[in-house]
Amino acid sequence: MDCLVCHEQTGTYRKFPSGAGYPAPYVEDPANPGTQKGVPFPGESKSYFAPDWSRVAQSVARPSRMNCGTCHFYGGGGDAVKHGDLDSTMGRPPKTLDVHMGTRESGGQDFTCVRCHTTHSHHIAGRIYETPAAAERKSLLQDDLGDKILCESCHGTEPHQSGGMSDKINDHTDTVSCQACHIPEFARAQSTKMWWDWSKAGQLMDGKEVVMGPDGKSVFDRKKGEFRWEKNVVPEYYWFDGTLDHVTVADPIDPTAEVWLNRPQGSADDPNSRIMPFKVHRAMAPYDKVNKVMVIPHLFPFNKDDDTAYWKGYDWNRAIEVGMEKAGQPYSGEYGFVETTYVFPTTHMVAPKNEALPCEACHSRQSRLAGITEVYMPGRDTFAMVDAAGWVGVTGAMVAVIIHGLMRFVSGLRRKEE
Amino acid sequence: MTHQPLVKIYLYSKFERFWHWVQSALIILLLVTGFEVHGSFAWLGFMAAVDLHNTIGLTWLILFVFIVFWLFVTGEYKQYIPTTRKLLEVVRYYASGIFRGEPHPVRKSRVAKHNPMQRLTYLGLTAVLLPVQMATGLLYWSYNDWPAWGLDGFLSLKVLALVHLIGGFAILIFLIVHVYMTTTGHTVTAHIAAMFSGWEEVPEGEEVEDWERMSERR
Ligand code: HEM
- Using one digit for the tens of pLDDT, what is the confidence trace for A334-393? 999 999 999 999 999 999 999 999 999 999 999 999 999 999 999 999 999 999 999 999
Which CB contacts under 8 angstroms, 24+ apart, belong to B57-66?
B57/B30, B57/B134, B57/B137, B57/B138, B57/B141, B58/B141, B59/B26, B60/B23, B60/B26, B60/B27, B60/B30, B60/B134, B61/B134, B61/B138, B63/B19, B63/B22, B63/B23, B63/B26, B64/B23, B64/B130, B64/B134, B66/B19
Helix (H, G, I), strand (E, B) or coil at A186: strand
Q: What are the backbone angles phi and psi of residue A343, rounded to the nearest 5°?
A: -105, 145
Cα–Cα distance, A125 to A134 (Å, whole number): 12
What is the spatial distance between Cα B37 and Cα B45, in angstroms, rounded to a whole number? 9
Q: pLDDT value at position A1?
A: 56
Radius of gyration of chain A (CA): 29
CB A323 within 8 A of CB A296: yes
pLDDT tops 90 at residue A97: yes
CB pair distance less than 8 Å for B144 and A412: no
Q: Which of A106-110, A143-147, A222-226, A382-386 has the lowest mean pLDDT?
A: A143-147
Count other C-beta atoms under 10 Å from residue A12's C-beta.
14
- CB within 8 Å: B46 and A390: no
Tell me the C-alpha distance between A352 and A108, whole Å.
Answer: 9
Q: How far is CA A297 from CA A152, A326, A330, in A?
A: 42, 10, 13
pLDDT band at B206 (very low <50, low <70, confident <90, very high): low
Q: Are the CB atoms for A210 and A160 separated by under 8 Å?
A: no
Contacts of A412 in chain B (CB under 8 A): 1, 101
In DSSP terms, A281 is beta-bridged to: A342
What is the model's pLDDT at position A145?
44
The residue-averaged pLDDT of A220-241 equals 95
Nearest to A390 among B1, B169, B177 (CB): B169
Inter-residue contact A224 to A304 (CB < 8 Å):
no
Q: Is the pLDDT assigned to residue A30 strictly greater than 50?
A: yes
pLDDT score recorded for residue B106: 86
Whether the pLDDT of residue A38 is over 90: the answer is: no
d(CA B34, CA B56): 11
Quote the pLDDT of residue A140.
41
pLDDT at A248 over 70: yes
pLDDT reading at A143 higher than 50: no
- Count of A-B CB contacts under 8 Å: 86
Model pLDDT for residues B77-90, shown as the tens digit of each residue: 888 888 888 888 99
* ipTM field: 0.89
Q: Indicate the residue type of A202.
A: G
Element (DSSP H or E) covering residue A48: strand A47-48
Backbone angles phi, psi at A211, to 5 degrees: -120, 130
Q: B186 pLDDT exceeds 60? A: yes
Residue B168 Cβ contacting ligand 1 at under 6 Å: yes
Tell me how far CA of residue A334 lies from CA of A253, A323, A377, in angstroms. 15, 14, 47
Give the mean pLDDT of chain A. 87
Range A239-264 average pLDDT: 92
Is the model's pLDDT at A27 over the cut of 80?
A: no
Cα–Cα distance, B63 to A197 (Å, whole number) = 65
User: What are residue A47's DSSP bridge partners?
Assistant: A40
CA distances, A29 to each of A34, A36, B51 (Å): 7, 5, 73
Rounded to the nearest angstrom, the gap between the alpha carbon of residue B128 and the centroid of all alpha carbons in its chain is 11
**Interval B37-47 mean pLDDT:** 95
The residue type at B47: M
Smallest CA-to-CA distance from A102 within A197, A189, A217 is with A189
Select from B73, B71, B94 the least CA-distant residue to B23: B71
In B170-217 the beta strands, taken as DSSP E runs, fall at 199-203
State whether residue A203 is helix, strand or coil: coil
State the closest ligand 1 atom to the C-alpha of B26, by its place in the atom list counted from 1. 1
pLDDT value at residue B9: 86
Q: How confident is the model at residue A141 (pLDDT cuts 50, 70, 90)?
A: very low
Do the beta carbons of residue A174 and residue A271 sit within 8 Å?
yes
Question: Is it the case that residue B17 has pLDDT exceeding 80?
Answer: yes
Per CB-CB distance under 8 Å, the chain A contacts of B180 are 401, 404-405
Domain annotation for chain B: domains and CATH numbers: 6-207 (1.20.950.20)
Residue B25 confidence (pLDDT): 97
Nearest to residue B49, comparing CAs of A364, A385, A178?
A364
The tens digit of pLDDT for each residue in A1-24 reads 578 878 888 777 766 555 556 666
Query: Taking residues A144-151, what's their average pLDDT?
Result: 64
B28 CA from centroid of ligand 1 (Å)? 12
Q: Whose CA is nearest to atom 7 of ligand 1?
A: B34
At residue A194, does pLDDT exceed 80?
A: yes
Sign of the CA dihedral running A401, A403, A404, A409: positive
Best mutation target among A375, A380, A404 (most B Cβ atoms within 10 Å) is A404
User: Domain boundaries in chain A?
Assistant: 1-58, 192-361
Torsion of CA B203, B204, B205, B210, to 10 degrees: 50
Quote the CA–CA distance of A319 and A295 in Å, as a whole number: 10
Confidence of residue A46 (pLDDT cuts 50, 70, 90): low
The phi and psi torsions of B36 (rounded to 5 degrees) equal -70, -45
The answer to whether the beta carbons of residues B62 and B70 sit under 8 Å apart is no
According to the 3-state scheme, what is the secondary structure of A65-82?
HHHHHHHHCCCCCCCCCC
Q: Quick one: pLDDT at residue B78?
A: 85
- Residue nearest atom 12 of ligand 1, based on CA coordinates: B38
| B32 has a pLDDT exceeding 80 | yes
Record the pTM: 0.91
Q: Give me the phi and psi of A194, to 5 degrees please.
A: -115, -15
Q: Is the minimum CB–CB distance between B183 and chain A shorter than 8 Å?
A: yes
Answer whether B30 contacts ligand 1 (Cβ < 6 A). yes
DSSP H or E run through A196: strand A192-197
Contacts of B51 in chain A (CB under 8 A): 164-165, 168
List chain A residues with CB under 8 Å of B165: 383, 386, 390
Element (H, E) at B21: helix B14-37
